Amino acid sequence: MLFNGPAIDSIIDDNFLRAIRGKTIVNTSSVPVEFSQSFAQRVHQADGKFLDMPVSGSKIPAEQGQLVGMIVGDPVIAERIRIILEPITCAAVYCGPIGSGFEDEICRQFTPHYPDGWIGRVDESCPGTRS
């Protein structure tokens, strides 16, 4: 996982773009929506596939296997590789188009008591995330 947009940009060169042809890139960094959309466009232009999966949690939840992954992008690709993504999270939840995961993560981090809906379903899957 790269920390932010500039860290991601630092590795994207012609060699990287050639190497991702026909592959799926999953970005797990928490980056602004606009950056994710731009990154996805560059991956698609290189004939790659792109998913965003920001994770909600910090070092302690990560050590306890309690990170929640918010998968965004093409739902067909997300479902196809979910089996690969689930082991690094306690729940991998599909959240919609590129940019949605970051928005959901921000809502989750700044909402002290989560409303019913997908957060409740995620909380049931991940006891360590309950408020």
Task: Give residue-wise pLDDT tens across range 17-59.
Answer: 999 999 999 998 878 888 889 999 999 999 999 999 888 777 8
pLDDT confidence band for 111 (50 / 70 / 90): very low
Percent of the chain with pLDDT over 90: 31
**Matching CATH number, 5-126, of 3.40.50.1820, 3.40.50.720, 1.10.1040.10, 3.40.50.1980:** 3.40.50.720
For residue 68, the cross-strand partners are: 56, 91
Res. 95: pLDDT tops 90: no
Tokens of 108: 């989750």
Give me the DSSP letters along the chain.
--SSHHHHHTT-SHHHHHHTTT-EEEE-S---HHHHHHHHHHHHHTT-EEEE--EE--HHHHHTT--EEEEEE-HHHHHHHHHHHGGGSSEEEEEESTTHHHHHHHHHHH-SSPPSSHHHHHHHH-GGG--
Res. 105: pLDDT tops 60: no
Location of structure tokens 């947009």: 5
What is the predicted pLDDT for the residue at 61? 82
Q: What is the pTM of this model?
A: 0.73
